[in-house]
C-alpha cells in the first residue's frame, strides 16, 4: 500500500509539473512506472507459506521453492531485516525465520509478519509445535 501511495504521488507531481511547465514528455514515463508497480504486486501475490504433515514450504515469485521437513527444522526465531536486506527488499522487514539443519543459506523460510494474518501464523506455529515440541518458538 505504501508503495502505491509513493507511485501515486510521483504521478500527481509529474502531472502538476507538466501542466505548469507545458512540457509533457515526462508523462510518457508514467505507464512504465505503473507497469513496474504492477510487476511488484504480481510478484508479491506469489509469496506463499504452506505447511502440511511433512513440513513447511515457501513459494516466492522468481525464487526457488524452499521446503523444510519438520524433523530438519533447526531453529525458529523472530527477526528484523538488516539495513542491506531492507534497502534491496530481499526479505520481509519483520519476520519469523525458520531455519533448516542444512548449512545451506537457502534452507531458510521467512514468514512475513506484515503479509500474513496473525491467525494463520499462529496456526503455522501450532503445527511446528505439534511436530517439534522440543523447539523453542518465539512469542511475537
Q: What is the model's pLDDT at position 89?
A: 61
- Euclidean distance between CA atoms 96 and 116, whole angstroms: 11
Same domain as 65, residue 13: no
Question: Is the pLDDT score of 57 beyond 90?
Answer: yes
C-alpha torsion sign, points 79, 90, 105, 69: positive
118/91 same-domain check: yes
- State whether 121 and 61 are in the same domain: yes
Are 96 and 40 within one domain?
no
Residue 69 pLDDT more than 80? Answer: yes
Q: Which domain CATH number covers 61?
A: 2.30.29.30
Domain assignment of residue 125, given as a range: 47-131
b/e per residue 75-107 (b: at least 16 CB within 10 A):
ebeebebeeebeeeeebbeebbbbbbeeeeeeb
Which is nearest to 128 in space by CA: 72, 47, 81, 88? 72
As a whole number of angstroms, the distance between CA 138 and CA 96 comes to: 8
pLDDT at position 106: 64
Residues 10 and 64 in one domain: no
Q: Model's pTM, two decimal places? A: 0.70
The total of structural domains in the chain comes to 2
The string of pLDDT tens digits covering residues 94-126 is 899 999 987 656 689 999 998 899 999 999 999
* H-run or E-run covering 55: strand 55-59
138 part of a folded domain: no
Q: Pick the more confident residue, 135 or 83.
A: 135
Amino acid at each position: 500500500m505504501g508503495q502505491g501511495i509513493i507511485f501515486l504521488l510521483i504521478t500527481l507531481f509529474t502531472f502538476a509539473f507538466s501542466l505548469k511547465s507545458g512540457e509533457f514528455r515526462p508523462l510518457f514515463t508514467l505507464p512504465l512506472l505503473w507497469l513496474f508497480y504492477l510487476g511488484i504486486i504480481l510478484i508479491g501475490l506469489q509469496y506463499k507459506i504452506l505447511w502440511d504433515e511433512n513440513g513447511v514450504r515457501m513459494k516466492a515469485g522468481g525464487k526457488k521453492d524452499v521446503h523444510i521437513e519438520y524433523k530438519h527444522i533447526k531453529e525458529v526465531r523472530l527477526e528484523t531485516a538488516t539495513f542491506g536486506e531492507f534497502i534491496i527488499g530481499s526479505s520481509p522487514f519483520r519476520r519469523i525465520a525458520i531455519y533448516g539443519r542444512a548449512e545451506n543459506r537457502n534452507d531458510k523460510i521467512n514468514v512475513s509478519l506484515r503479509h500474513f494474518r496473525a491467525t494463520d501464523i499462529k496456526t503455522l506455529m501450532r503445527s511446528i509445535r505439534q511436530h517439534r515440541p522440543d523447539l523453542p518458538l518465539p512469542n511475537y
